[in-house]
Amino acid sequence: MRKAIPLVLVLTLVWGTMWPLFTIGVREVSVWTFRTVCLVGSGLALLAIARARGESLRIARAHWGTLVAASLTYLVVWNITSTYAAILIPSGQAAILGFTMPLWAALMAWAFVGQRPTGRVLLALAIGGLGVALLIVNGIDAYAKAPLGFSMGLLAGLGWAAGTVILKRCPVPGSPLVLTGWQLLVAAVPLTIGAFAFAEGPWFVPSTTTLVVIAYITLVPMAVGNAAWFAIVGLLPGNVAGLSSVMVPVVAMVSGAIIHHEPLGPVQWASMVCCAAGLALALIKPAEARR
């Protein structure tokens, strides 16, 4: 598990700081266009890097079914629902709902992969879940005003968990860069269709701010973040991999407070402590267990 810790740190930072940027990225373009550009750009970037490193871009035909299923359940569902949730309710609260994923992932991994959680993982889930629950209760007013945002946030977490469990049940061999790149491009297909179907008004060039935000999200959270995530999925059991993301909504809350002046008080700080404790319990084993 030690190999996964640097990846978890990268994932937490790049994904956590992404959430407050969603509302900026979609000020001038639709959610579908925004996500299509991000998926296509990040997918091509990762495959180009893999090719430059001399890695084969080929995926065996037998594994394409798993790849497509995981892409549709995680990347398609997640990218649309999480963005709408971040628009309809405060970005930090949207992140919290999406990152209920560890609970769904643990339950699905137990039901479909046979990964029965250990006592340590169950305790980590309980502590991390308490941190998320504190934020959900604290943001109940925002959810009541925008129930669709609440539903979208939960659906994002469920879709992400399903995609993760699919990959754990039927692992796809290959480089994380190549696998991530192809999954991003597969997910881009239905989103591209949606972008053309829901497009309104004439073509135009967005402002510099919008272009910079979209470029950043494409290359850093989408490309680097997803590559780190799929590498984590390959290294850890499904229930523990899910827990590796539990600190992301904490960073999202802090980022939202800085960028959008969203609330950041004692409840949020208590949640951070719970999430950090749950993550540490899941990833850092006692010395006796490592021997």
**Whole-angstrom distance, CA of residue 10 vs CA of residue 228:** 7
- Whole-structure pTM value: 0.79
Rounded Cα distance, 48 and 159, in Å:
28
DSSP label at residue 18 = T
Residue with tokens 């943001």: 139
Q: Return per-residue pLDDT of the chain as tens, 291 residues.
A: 567 778 888 888 888 888 788 888 888 998 899 999 999 999 999 999 999 999 999 999 999 999 999 999 989 998 899 888 888 887 767 777 787 777 787 788 887 877 777 787 788 778 877 877 777 777 777 777 788 888 898 899 899 889 888 988 888 888 889 999 999 999 999 999 998 888 766 788 899 999 999 999 999 999 999 888 888 888 877 656 666 666 777 787 778 778 777 767 787 778 777 777 776 776 665 543 444
Residue whose pair of structure tokens reads 């007013």 in the numeric block: 141
* DSSP-derived secondary structure for 199-244: --S---PPPHHHHHHHHHHIIIIIIIIHHHHHHHHHHS-HHHHHHT
